[in-house]
């Protein structure tokens, strides 16, 4: 098994994590996933398939995730049944925050939305969630699994900083962003699975950083279409690559070297995560499903 990521403008990027998450879920689960509605199916169709009277806050989260984070949606379906709805809520919360930046025309409006989620998390821990579907489902997850508030706030705070729309000055800044968003999401997923293990946490930290770096690479063509570049400036300068080279989707050797260096850093984090595979509890493996795919 290996993780496969498309760096659209530069060809496929492949990073492997053999050993960790190497056990295949039952074949029946893959069959169930293949039969699930794809992104083109409407929320009404999902509700109808679920039976009358079942559409609610849990289905809202599922539908949001299916439309905005399809990989996360598929992997969440393979989690233990008792954890699934809570992970849907957690990932839907992450989607709500992630789409703030691209859905507002002014930073001030984005800050207002971020402030809403800060207050929402505070209210959730006071047992007073607002009447918003994701907030209600997140409150249920917090109550059910005693989720750590600090990780939720780290995700919010990092998304708030990211509203500034500045390029990462160096790879370390990108890693910090990934740690506070992707790794925090994995720490919370481990809590939902009932895992309290230092080795699993170390693996989650490195996997989260790898996912954050690869996500940055994958999003480069999209950002370029909006005349924005977020690749670490230190690596671009090292190879003499300008923002205009990236925007024009230049494919010369220098640009390929930039992509290679950044992808190599993600691969290095996956190697570190792999070094813990003998120590990580088997029950923790489902939390890391999004780092793999079946060939």
Convert the pLDDT of each residue in 141-189 to its tens digit. Answer: 999 999 999 999 999 999 999 998 888 999 999 999 999 999 999 999 9
Cα dihedral 2, 274, 281, 278 sign: positive
- 125: helix, strand or coil: coil
Two structure tokens written together for 271: 């190697």
Its pTM stands at: 0.81
Mean pLDDT of the 265-294 span: 89
Confidence tier at 24 by pLDDT (50, 70, 90): very low
Mean pLDDT of the 183-212 span: 97
Burial of 207 (0-12, 13-18, 19+ CB in 10 A): buried
- Using the CB atoms, write b or e for 280-290: b if 16+ within 10 Å: beeebbbbbbb
Q: Where in the chain is the domain with CATH 1.10.600.10?
A: 166-289
Q: Which residues, in sequence order, are bridge partners of residue 4?
A: 14
Does CATH place domain 166-289 in 3.40.640.10?
A: no
Do 85 and 133 form a contact (C-beta atoms < 8 A)? no
């Amino acid at each position: 098994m290996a993780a496969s990521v498309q760096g659209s403008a530069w060809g496929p990027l492949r990073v492997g994590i053999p050993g960790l998450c190497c056990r295949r879920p039952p074949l029946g689960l893959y069959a169930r996933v293949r039969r699930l509605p794809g992104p083109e199916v409407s929320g009404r169709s999902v509700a109808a398939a679920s039976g009358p009277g079942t559409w609610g806050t849990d289905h809202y989260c599922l539908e949001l995730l299916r439309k905005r984070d399809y990989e996360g949606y598929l992997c969440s379906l393979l989690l233990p049944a008792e954890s699934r709805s809570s992970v849907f809520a957690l990932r839907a919360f992450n989607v709500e925050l992630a789409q703030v930046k691209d859905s507002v025309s002014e930073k001030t409006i984005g800050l207002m939305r971020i402030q809403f989620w800060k207050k929402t998390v505070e209210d959730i821990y006071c047992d007073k969630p607002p009447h918003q579907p994701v907030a209600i489902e997140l409150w249920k997850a917090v109550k059910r699994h005693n989720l750590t508030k600090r990780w939720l706030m780290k995700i919010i705070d990092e998304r708030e900083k990211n509203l500034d729309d500045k390029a990462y000055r160096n790879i370390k800044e990108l890693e910090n962003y990934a740690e506070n968003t992707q790794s925090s999401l994995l720490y919370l997923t481990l809590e939902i699975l009932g895992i309290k293990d230092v080795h699993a946490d170390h693996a989650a930290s490195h996997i989260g950083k790898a996912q954050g770096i690869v996500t940055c690479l994958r999003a480069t063509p999209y950002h370029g279409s909006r005349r924005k570049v977020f690749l670490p400036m230190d690596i671009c300068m090292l190879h003499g690559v300008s923002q205009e080279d990236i925007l024009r989707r230049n494919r010369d050797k220098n640009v390929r070297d930039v992509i290679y260096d950044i992808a190599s850093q993600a691969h290095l984090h996956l190697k570190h995560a792999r070094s813990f595979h003998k120590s990580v509890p088997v029950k923790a493996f489902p939390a890391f499903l999004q780092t793999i795919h079946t060939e």
